[in-house]
Structures are given as structure tokens and as C-alpha cells.
Amino acid sequence: MLEITGVPTEAQIRETFPPIEAIDKGPIAVIECFQEIPCNPCATSCRFGAIYIGDNINNLPTIDIGKCTGCSICLTKCPGLAISIIDGSKSKDYVHFSIPYEMTPLPATGDMVRALDREGRYLIDVKVLGVRSNKNFDRTNIVTLEVPRDQMYRFRSISLEVIE
């Protein structure tokens, strides 16, 4: 499927997500990398040794959720923009979802933006909780959004477009 549509199935997505107990403890990385390609910046950028690829650079990354602090550096280093950070520790109703964002203009904290799924379909409006960019991120910004828990496996992107 993914090879034809470019969209991972919900089953694939659920498998990559950490268990809900881990999500509810604090921020943690979700890596949507399903294909063996020669690439390893996620593993080499992690200061905590939480992402492992090993000697063969084509291996898929595995994450040690015990070691991941949710620091977000891998999110900005993944050339596939395949990593997001999810944090369920802040609220019973929402998760804080951080995604890489390389479009202009950037949203501002407090804005309501359109939440999209992995096919770019509109889900709901969500609130921007924060926008981070610094030199180390090298023009890959991190936008954190307040996403209702029931949308957590569907949400993956945002659009700032105003639809009349």
C-alpha cells in the first residue's frame, strides 16, 4: 500500500507509536521510517543513544523509549521529516504534538490552524502551542500543536491556508 500511495496504513502507524503509558509520561519520538534507505542522521544526532541503526546504514532505526527524552533534535535532523514528538503528560484530553515544518509563513503561538492527516485531508482546527527555530535546527522549524487524543493516530500535518 505505502509503496503505491505514499501513505502508511493506520496499522503501520500504530506500530510505530510508543505505548500510551510511555506517551503519557512525557515527550517521546515517533519515527515513521518504513523503508531501508542509506540514511542515519537520526541515530548519529541522538545524544542519549536512544536511536539505533547499527553498522549497516540501510537498517531501519529502532528507538529505545526508555532512553528517549523527547529533546527533538532527531526531528530536525531527519531528511525525510519522518519524526515527530508526542507528549501526553500535559492533559487528559489532548496530546502535544510537535512536527517539523519548513513552509512559510510560520504560524504564531496561539493561532488556530487546520490539522491534516497523512493524505492532507482536513481533520479539525488545532491550536499552535509553540514554534521553535534556531541555528541548530537549520531551517527545519518545530511547531507544537494541541491535538485531541482521538485524532492522535491520524494527525500529521498542518495547513495555514484560509478556506472561505
Binding site for another protein (CB under 8 A): 2-8, 32-41, 44-45, 55-58, 77-82, 102-104, 116-121, 138-140, 156-157, 159
Bridge partners (DSSP) listed for residue 97:
86, 145
Q: Are 97 and 75 in contact (CB under 8 A)?
A: no
For another protein, give the closer residue by CB, 66 or 105: 105
Rounded least distance, CB 126 to another protein, Å: 14
Q: How far apart are CA 109 and CA 86, in angstroms?
A: 18
Residue 143: DSSP 8-state: E
Rounded least distance, CB 8 to another protein, Å: 7
Q: How far apart are CA 147 and CA 163, in angstroms?
A: 20
For another protein, give the closer residue by CB, 22 or 71: 71
Rounded least distance, CB 87 to another protein, Å: 20
